[in-house]
Amino acid sequence: MIPSILMAIIVSLPAWSQTPPAAEENIFDTKDQVINESTASPISESSDEPSSEDNFEEESDITSDESFSDEDSYADEGFEEDDALSTEPIEPEEAVVVEPADLPPLVEQAVEDVQFSESKSVQSFDLNKVRSQNPNKTQKVPHPLAEKGLKRITKDNIYIYETKASPKEHASTFLISSFEPDTFDGNAEFPDASTTTYDEIYDDSIMVTVDYEWPLWSNFLGEIGLKITTGFMFANGKGVFERDGTESAEELTLVMFPNSVGAIWRLRWSDDQLFVPYAEGGAGYFGLIEFQNEANDFKFGGNAVGYAAGGLALNIGRLSKQALLDMDRDYGVNGILLNLEFRIVQGAAPFNLSYNTIGAGFTFEY
């Protein structure tokens, strides 16, 4: 066994006798060679393999250099040691899939003409944000919808727009009044006959009239319009004897049709005016029909009259503008007045249908 050990020592003496390279350039060359050998492909271009003796000499050169380190070598190449010596397979990055719609058109493919239009964006408006800045005061700020008629926004975020009423081109008035003439003249052929009054024959009755009005003009003095009126009145009573005026058992019915033409003046300068004084006057003809219920005996007559009236109207539309806007939208009515008036009617012969009355009604403007 001792001879074998001595033989191994003798064989290794030539390698120990070689001196390591002293120049620094040879060290770097050896480093490059080691890196190239470590990263080289397993299949070399040359079929000649280095001898074991050469490998042994290179390894002894590397280990004998105290200034050499693996970290310095790999740092010179610009990568870390872990990356260089890692044997784990590198996973490829996930490929980005490009949809056909994102691809540019081909050279042969025709590009469709696209027309671009400028759209006017509406600036957003946050009312709650404005209120939170100063909740104790009323906020007055410009709103992007003000150009479209927005007037105000309630605390419940209800948007109120300004709505223009339709023009006032016509008006109609429905009026209810009492009818009780002062007297019926007695028969002139019987001077001793007593003068008979209307209420001695007929009961109290109600007259209903309706008129249609055309506005003519309006200025700082008010409004002036032309109107025509018609209506009806119905009353029942008992006849009286001509000589002594005593009541008979005969039942009578009187029907009257008041017709007139006149003009009306309203002292109004604005549609928002609450109280509107007015006056009117004109002339007409009241047609009469009287008949006996049992005998079916009809008598016709009439009386020319002149009239004058004055009153005060309450602008109901101003009290509830929302209701008026709804009526204007649904029915075209843009003004409602509540009228209270006093009227004087003067009749001519042969029947004296003169009377004074108080009436009330509504005027609808549209």
Distance of alpha carbon 86 from alpha carbon 349, whole angstroms: 134
How confident is the model at residue 26, as a pLDDT?
45
Is residue 85 pLDDT above 70, yes or no? no
Residues in a beta bridge with 257? 287
Q: Express each pLDDT in 223-249 by its tens digit.
A: 999 999 999 999 988 876 666 666 677
Which percentage of the chain shows pLDDT scores above 90? 28
- Is there a contact between 283 and 304 (Cβ–Cβ < 8 Å)? yes
Distance, CA of 343 to CA of 301 (rounded, Å): 23
**Predicted pLDDT at 309:** 98
**pLDDT at 140 (0 to 100):** 67
Q: Which of 264-273, 290-299, 330-339, 354-363 has the lowest average pLDDT?
A: 290-299
**pLDDT tens, position by position, 155-202:** 888 888 777 778 888 999 999 999 988 765 544 444 444 566 777 788
What are the boundaries of each domain within the chain? 127-161, 171-365
Q: What is the DSSP secondary-structure string of 2-71?
A: HHHHHHHHHHHHHHHHSPPP--HHHHHHHHHHHHHHHHS-SS-SS-PPPPHHHHHHHHHHHHH-TT--HH
- Cis geometry, peptide bond prior to residue 89 (ω within 30 degrees of 0): no
Q: Which range has the worst mean pLDDT, 96-105, 175-184, 277-286, 322-331?
A: 96-105
The pLDDT value given to residue 8: 59
- At 111 the pLDDT is 45
What is the pLDDT at residue 211?
96
Q: Please, are residues 206 and 177 in contact by the beta-carbon 8 Å criterion?
A: yes
> Residue 354 CB: number of other CB atoms within 10 A?
16
- Residue whose C-alpha is closest to residue 165's, from 362, 331, 312: 331
* Mean pLDDT across 310-333: 89
pLDDT in the model for residue 284:
96
What fold does the segment set 171-365 form as a domain?
A: Porin (2.40.160)
Instruction: Answer whether 238's CB lies under 8 Å from 201's CB.
Output: yes
- Kindly state the helix (H) or strand (E) to which residue 133 belongs, with its residue range: helix 127-133
Tell me which DSSP letter residue 256 carries: E
Q: Which residues contact 74 (CB under 8 A, 6 or more apart)?
A: 35, 80, 81, 84
Would you say residue 151 has pLDDT above 90?
A: no
pLDDT at 353: 83
**Smallest Cα–Cα separation from 282: which of 257, 311, 307, 258?**
307
pLDDT at 310: 98
> Which among 27, 85, 81, 36 has a CA at the least distance from the CA of 58?
27
